[in-house]
Amino acid sequence: MQVTKNVLDDAARRKMMAQFRSKDTKPEITVRRALHRLGYRFRLHRRDLPGTPDIVLRRHRTIILVHGCFWHQHDGCRDARMPRTRQDYWSAKFQRNSERDAKITAALTALGWRVLVIWECDARKPELASHLASVLGHAPGHAGLPSVKRPRRPDGPRATPHRPPTSRGIQRSHPRRSVPTGAD
């Protein structure tokens, strides 16, 4: 196998690598949207927990870690390939990442949290929401608490009782003021 030459200089490579995000990544936002659609409410990146977890479902004592397949070397995934250059550096880095992941998971479990790992490739699948629902024990239309809806009024959807609708849909706080015309 022929090793390809690095086409970027050090400054350009550093700039490119600095643009990889650790928070608010596309897979993380996808998982957050699916959880929110299912009715779950959560906290993000709690610094008081080991490893600053991506998503914290406090009510369910559950933590969701969204791992990138490349950076965390997802077994059997096509995105978890070894770069062709500097393989000794990358293998050591991936080894440190997996050791850190195991340490963080063990620390969170010791604190009484249930830890779920969602891989980047799984976040792209259309069955993500059903997978999250089954893992978290989600019944359809129920996210742990009964659904509370405001009652609808006969004069319109969720109309406020203390402000009747006006003819133009604008509630005035004062009567219309007369404007002097100057022709007296």
Residue 86: which CATH number?
3.40.960.10
Looking at the domain assignment, is residue 47 inside a domain?
Answer: yes
Domain membership flag for residue 108: yes
What is the predicted pLDDT for the residue at 82? 87
Q: Which domain holds residue 79?
A: 22-136
Q: Do the beta carbons of residue 46 and residue 52 sit within 8 Å? A: yes
Structural contact between residues 56 and 63, judged by C-beta atoms closer than 8 angstroms: yes
Q: Is residue 72 part of a domain?
A: yes
The pLDDT, as a whole number, for residue 114 is: 94
- Predicted local confidence at residue 119, as pLDDT: 92
Tokens coding 95: 């080894």
- Helix 128-136 to helix 26-37 angle, to the nearest 10 degrees? 60
In a domain, 9, yes or no: no
Whether residue 144 lies inside any domain: the answer is no
Task: Answer yes or no: is 184 within a domain.
Answer: no
- DSSP class of 164: -
Residue 145 lies in a domain: no
> Residue 107 falls within a domain, yes or no?
yes
Tokens 């007296």 correspond to 184
Q: Give the long-range contacts of residues 84-92, CB within 8 A, separation 24 or more.
A: 84/1, 84/3, 84/4, 85/3, 85/4, 85/6
Burial class (CB in 10 A: 0-12, 13-18, 19+), 31: buried
* Nearest partner of 32 among 47, 22, 44, 21, judged by Cα: 44
pLDDT in tens, the chain (184 residues): 344 556 777 787 667 666 666 677 888 999 999 999 998 999 998 999 999 898 999 999 999 999 989 888 888 888 888 888 888 998 999 999 999 999 999 999 999 999 999 999 989 999 988 889 988 886 544 444 444 444 555 555 555 555 555 555 555 555 555 555 655 5
The number of domains in the chain is: 1
